[in-house]
Every structure is written in structure tokens, then in C-alpha cells.
Amino acid sequence: MKKVIYILITAICVALPWSCDNEFLSTQPLDKVSSEATWSDGPLSEAFIYNVYSFLGYGGFEEQALASISDEAMFTHAGRNIDRFTEGTESPGSLAWISSTYEWGSMYLAIREANVALENLPEATFDTELRDRLMGEAHFLRAYYYHQLLRYYGGVPLIDRPYGLGEDYSIARNTFAECVDFIISDLDQATTLLDGKTVTPGRASKLSAMALKARVLAYASSDLHDATTAQANSSVLAGYGNIELVAYTSGNQMDRWTAAQAAAKAVLDETTGYKMNLTAPVTAEEGEANYISLSMGGKSAVGDAGAAVELIFQRTHTPLYTQESAWPLGGIHYGINNGPNGYHNWAGNTPIQQLVDDYEMMDGSDFDWGNPTHAAAPYDNRDPRFYATILYDGADWKPRPSDVAPIDPADQIQTGYYEGRSATTGEPITVNGIDTRKSAIEDWNGTRTHYYTRKFIDPDPSLPDNQSNAQVIPWPFIRYTEMALLYAEASIELGQEQEARDWINKIRFRAGMPGINDSGSDLVDRLRNERRVELAYEEHRYHDGRRWMLGSELGRGIKSIQVTAALKPGMDPLVPYRHDPTVYDYTYTVVDNNENETRVWNDKMYYRPISRDEINRNDLLIQNPGY
């Protein structure tokens, strides 16, 4: 229609005795940029690549966290379809919650944008230095989005060009091995193209491409993706007729671990991590401060900005490719999403007891509810990372909002129920902690597990409205410590146990924990628990539990804690209440929690289903095992 209108206007100009304005005829849309203009102009091409970054979303700073479909957390608010996964009822026609940073359609849209860039950038007419950088970033981003799909679904259709109108969009899934090879090829190209380029926080770099390669190779080496091992461990996978879509059917698993180890070591040799050169543990206080600094992306209560080198690829707060512009102050609402309801926060993804119990004692021994000393004071003498990650009953926290401060001048988390006395009769009463679901402050947003998240919530007491406004903290997509843990894991698999212990101890010393001397299966367990606590709430546990084929742990249910406090003989209650073991006897009882979901494990949950709509659109797609 536009072409017809243009021809008619031209004909009129020729036929009539007056002249036409040529600028009128060449008018361009003011809200769009042509393809030719984009790829001939450096800033416009850069803006296009920023849009490809936008599919990273909030990273892990969404209201619903991946932690809540693993044995890290419970999502407090019902009705979000999380239970479809955790209860094993998810099906192609009834999908569970999934973040857009993993969702099939969203990732393929992102991949298409990267393909558009990679098709056009080689012919770009602007500065070659910028062109090569943008091509390197596009290769990295395409690899990243394919790796997201690979982690969720196994092998997926590999599309390396933008489809046009009228093409046949039916395409079969590639094998798992083919997808790994494709991703590694993209990352190798990104590494070459980004070599020597300026490193900008939030944008892909040579190091981030190398690090993602190490992760992809380590995942590919794991038991879930070795067909022989996976089928021996799961009847669902043993009965799957297309195992090549989700696992290697040839080659040697140890050769794959060798490649993963080399890739991780290349990253470790390229740079240094935050305080990873220690030869002995720091103090418990310094260990906690170190971990807080890491989770703040370098911002620490002691003003230490050295953690910046730790972040290899991060989601920054920047106007270049932000999605947060609609949020107050332009930042992330992680604090209000997850903080205590006694601060008018929403208690979203609360830690479950299984995670709490997996933090070691300060001497490196396991916490044990069968130990009377541990059971009487379960939050004493724990791994310093526990105190930097989890808010528990009696934990010190930020100043309360002005309307709450009069009833908690001590600024302590209150998730228990405490003995008091009626002001009128003197009879015993129960005082509900102001961070419980029976709080006098808010009775609909409280934790169901009696814990809250501290990690990633800025402890700065000067922040406005105690987390009710947005905070600006980078999301750690990839950090140096993950590379150290992947290297240690590969070293264990290859029988190089001392090398693994050395790197695990570097991480533990920074946290104030003693070194280890484990070997054999004990060393495997130690490595896995070290990943669990060091990378807690960073979207690793869900993937780790699956690639290690620990489904029974991921689906082992939800445990919560019940905290009660009885007055010691002859003691009067503290008004307002504050945590005080000299006044109260505290009792801690672990209970099952099935309020929102009753968790189970079915081996089909090692992969997510491809939606019925996608299957209907593309009849060459083969569904994942168990669906």
C-alpha cells in the first residue's frame, strides 16, 4: 500500500505544473531506523547490541527466584505456579513458573537479535575496532542464551541466521553434543574478537567468554549428560528413545572433564579473585565482611571495593540496557521482595531449614540437631557466610521503619513466639514476633519458614525506607569463585585431589573457615556443599542438583523452624521484647512445611517440558523424557 501511495504522489508531481519538494518524498519514519542506517553507524549498531543484552532481564533479581524450585528456598506467596514444578505435575500443556531468562520463546527472540547482528556486522562500514567488539559481544550473547536453553531443555534447534518471512520454521532439535560444540565455537570466536578490548562492567569481555566456556564444558561433563551414567541412574532416562538429545552417547567422560579443567584453569590464570591468595583463615568477623562485600559487588560495610575483580560477567545498573526504568529510583526491588515483613517487605524467597543446616560449624564439622549443644543454640559458631546470607530469629539487622521502631528498638529479627505477661492481668501471654505471619505490623507477607534472606540486600542503614525503595547491586552471572569451584570439581573427577583441596581452601580461608583434608567421596561431598553455601541464591543449586543427579535432594520437601521462648524462673519479660538468652529459654523445633506445596521428585524434572504450543508449531520437535 505504501508503494502504491508513493507512486501516485510521484505521478501527480510529474503531471501538475508546479514542482514537488524532494525532501517531502524522502521523509523517513521518525520513530524507526532503517537497517542500512543501523549497520553503517557505530552508535546505532551499539544500541542494537544493547537491546540484545536486555534479554538478560533482572538476572536473578526477579520477584520469584530459581532458589525456590530447589532445596534453597520456599516462595511465600501461593498461586505463582511454582508448585507445578516442585510437586512434579508440570506438563507441556500446564507449564510451571519459568523466568524469561530461560523461557523458550524469549531466548529464541534474543538469539534472533544476535543473529541479525552477526549477519550484518561483517559488512559494517564504521570503525573496525568497534565492529569487532560488537561482533564478539553478539557471539557471546548468542552462546549465553543457547546455554540457558541447554541447561533447561537439553539439545535444542540450532539457528544461526535470522529467518525471513515465508520460510519454513520447522526445525529438529540438535543433539546435546552438537549444541555444546556450537556454543563453544561462539565463545572461542568471542574470546578472539574481544581480546584486547576495553572491559566495561556489564558487557561481555574476553574473560567472560572464557569463563562461560568453562561452565558449559563442566556441565557437559557431569553425570546427567553422560548417557551411560544417566540411564543407569534413572529409569525415565533409560526409557527415553532419543537420549542423544540430552546427553553424550559417545566419547569419554574423563576427556570432557579434562577439557573443562583446562578451560577453568585458563580463567584462573588470566586474573585474580577477591582475596583468593590467603594461606590461612581470616577471623570470623572478617570472613563475614568479605562475603557481604562479595554479594554487594564490592560495596562493603568496611568500605572495601576490592571485590570488583571477582565479577567476571555481571548485570549492572545502567541506562544502556536496563529494564528497571519503571521501578522507583531505577533500581532493583530485591530488598522489598525478600526482606522481613516487620520492615514492610514481602518475604518472597525465604531460606528453608535444609539450607540452614548445611552451613558448617566454625571448626569445619557438620551441624547436627542430635548434638545437644547445637540444638540449644543452632545459630552460634556457624560458617561466617551463614550470617551474611540468612536472617534468623535474634539476628541484628537494619533500623526499623519509624512506625515499627517503638516496638523493636533493638533492630533484631523476630520470627519466634515469646512468653510475655498481660499488662492488665499479669497472666502469661504469647508475644508474636513482628516478623512472623502473625505480626502486628503485616500479617500477610511473613515468612513461612521463619527465616529471611540477607544476601544481596544492602545493609547500609541510610538507604531510604528500609528497602522499600530500589537498590543498585550487580547480579553475578559469572564470578571468579565459580571458576575456582569448577576447576576443583574437575580436578577431583580427574583424581587430582590435592589440587582440588588447595583451591577449595582458598575460598574457605577468605570466609574464615578452616582448611580441609578430605579425600574420595568425602571430598566430593565437601566440594558440593562448598558450592551450595558459597553460591547460595545465585541460581546454581537448581542446575547443580540436576547435573549431579541429586533429584531426591532437590525434592526432599520443605523443613521450617519453630522458635519459642519461655521466661526463665523468676524473670520478667522484656518490654519491648528483644532477644536475650539470659532472660528466656529458647526452643527450636524443626517441622515439615506443606502450606503452599508438597514437594516430590520425579526424574522427568531433570529437564523442563517443551510447551504444547511449541510442539504444535514445529512438528519436528521431540518432547523431553517423561512428558
| HEC sequence for 221-290 | HCHHHEHHHHHHHCHHHHCCCCHHHCCECCCCHHHHHHHHHHHHHHHHHHCCCCCCCCCCCCCHHHHHHH
| Cell output for 556 | 526432599
Better-scored residue on pLDDT, 55 or 469: 55
* Same-domain status, 448 and 569: yes
Q: Tell me whether residue 30 is in a domain.
A: no
* Same-domain status, 197 and 79: yes
What percent of the chain stands above pLDDT 90? 83
What pLDDT, on a 0 to 100 scale, did the predictor assign at position 323? 47
Q: Tell me whether residue 422 is in a domain.
A: yes
Does position 329 have pLDDT exceeding 50, yes or no? Answer: no
192-213, pLDDT tens digit by residue? 999 999 999 899 999 999 999 9
Does position 75 have pLDDT exceeding 70, yes or no? Answer: yes
Does position 623 have pLDDT exceeding 50, yes or no? Answer: yes
460-470, pLDDT tens digit by residue? 887 655 554 56
Q: Tell me whether residue 478 is in a domain.
A: no
| Cell output for 605 | 524434572
* Same-domain status, 222 and 340: no
Q: Do 74 and 350 contact (CB within 8 A), yes or no?
A: yes
Q: What is the mean pLDDT of residues 265-269?
A: 97
9-44, pLDDT tens digit by residue? 233 232 323 333 444 334 444 445 566 788 999 999
Q: Which H or E element spans position 190?
A: helix 176-194
- Omega before residue 576 within 30° of 0, cis: yes
| Distance from C-alpha of 478 to C-alpha of 483, rounded to nearest angstrom | 8
* Same-domain status, 247 and 341: no
* Same-domain status, 70 and 169: yes
Q: What is the mean pLDDT of residues 553-580?
A: 97
The DSSP bridge partners found for residue 396 are: 412
In the chain the first and final C-alpha atoms are separated, in Å, by 47
Neighbours of 182 (CB within 10 A): 17
Torsion region of 154: left, alpha or beta (phi above 0 gives left; psi -120 to 50 gives alpha): left
With both helix axes pointing from N to C terminus, report the angle between 206-221 and 128-153 in degrees, rounded to the nearest 10: 20
* Same-domain status, 254 and 350: no
Q: Do 395 and 547 contact (CB within 8 A), yes or no?
A: no
Torsion angle (degrees, nearest 10) of CA 535, 537, 540, 544? 90
What pLDDT, on a 0 to 100 scale, did the predictor assign at position 1? 34
Nearby residues of 570 by Cβ (< 8 Å), 6 or more positions away: none
What pLDDT, on a 0 to 100 scale, did the predictor assign at position 30? 43
* Domain assignment of residue 133, given as a range: 35-278
* Same-domain status, 274 and 374: no
The DSSP bridge partners found for residue 453 are: 390
| Distance from C-alpha of 467 to C-alpha of 341, rounded to nearest angstrom | 11
Neighbours of 337 (CB within 10 A): 20
Q: Tell me whether residue 299 is in a domain.
A: no
| Cell output for 332 | 532493583
HSE-up of 210 (CA within 13 Å, CB side)? 22
What pLDDT, on a 0 to 100 scale, did the predictor assign at position 472? 77
What pLDDT, on a 0 to 100 scale, did the predictor assign at position 435? 98
Q: How confident is the model at residue 319 (pLDDT cuts 50, 70, 90)?
A: low
Does position 8 have pLDDT exceeding 60, yes or no? Answer: no
* Same-domain status, 271 and 400: no
* Same-domain status, 260 and 369: no
CATH number, domain of 207, equals 1.25.40.390
**Residue 300 backbone phi and psi in degrees, to 5:** -130, 155
Q: Tell me whether residue 500 is in a domain.
A: no
What pLDDT, on a 0 to 100 scale, did the predictor assign at position 11? 30
| Cell output for 487 | 576447576
Q: How confident is the model at residue 333 (pLDDT cuts 50, 70, 90)?
A: confident
HSE-up of 493 (CA within 13 Å, CB side)? 23
377-390, pLDDT tens digit by residue? 999 999 999 999 99
DSSP readout, 195-222?
A: TTPPP-TTS--HHHHHHHHHHHHHHHHS
Residue recorded with cell 550487580 = 474
| Cell output for 151 | 541447561
| Cell output for 62 | 526477579
Better-scored residue on pLDDT, 354 or 298: 354
Nearby residues of 469 by Cβ (< 8 Å), 6 or more positions away: 328, 329, 331, 336, 463
CA-wise closest residue to 183 among 162, 214, 152:
214
| Distance from C-alpha of 159 to C-alpha of 112, rounded to nearest angstrom | 8
Torsion region of 232: left, alpha or beta (phi above 0 gives left; psi -120 to 50 gives alpha): alpha
| Distance from C-alpha of 5 to C-alpha of 519, rounded to nearest angstrom | 78
Nearby residues of 13 by Cβ (< 8 Å), 6 or more positions away: 19, 20, 25
91-137, pLDDT tens digit by residue? 999 999 999 999 999 999 999 999 999 999 999 999 999 999 999 99
What pLDDT, on a 0 to 100 scale, did the predictor assign at position 432? 98
* Same-domain status, 274 and 337: no
Does position 51 have pLDDT exceeding 60, yes or no? Answer: yes
What pLDDT, on a 0 to 100 scale, did the predictor assign at position 429? 97
Q: How confident is the model at residue 306 (pLDDT cuts 50, 70, 90)?
A: very low
What pLDDT, on a 0 to 100 scale, did the predictor assign at position 188? 98
What pLDDT, on a 0 to 100 scale, did the predictor assign at position 464? 52
Residue 475, classed as helix, strand or coil, is strand
> Which amino acid, one-letter code, is at 199?
V
Q: Tell me whether residue 387 is in a domain.
A: yes
What pLDDT, on a 0 to 100 scale, did the predictor assign at position 166? 84
Residue 91, classed as helix, strand or coil, is strand
Q: Tell me whether residue 231 is in a domain.
A: yes
- What is the pTM for the complete model shown? 0.92
Does position 611 have pLDDT exceeding 80, yes or no? Answer: yes
What pLDDT, on a 0 to 100 scale, did the predictor assign at position 460? 82
501-529, pLDDT tens digit by residue? 999 999 999 999 999 999 999 999 999 99
CA-wise closest residue to 539 among 73, 217, 67, 86:
67
* Same-domain status, 408 and 269: no
CA 354 to chain centre: 19
Q: Tell me whether residue 552 is in a domain.
A: no
CA-wise closest residue to 452 among 358, 595, 382, 356:
356
577-606, pLDDT tens digit by residue? 999 999 999 999 999 999 999 999 999 999
* Same-domain status, 357 and 260: no
Q: Do 300 and 292 contact (CB within 8 A), yes or no?
A: yes
Task: Please give the tally of structural domains in the chain.
Answer: 2
Q: What is the mean pLDDT of residues 169-187?
A: 98
Residue 585, classed as helix, strand or coil, is strand
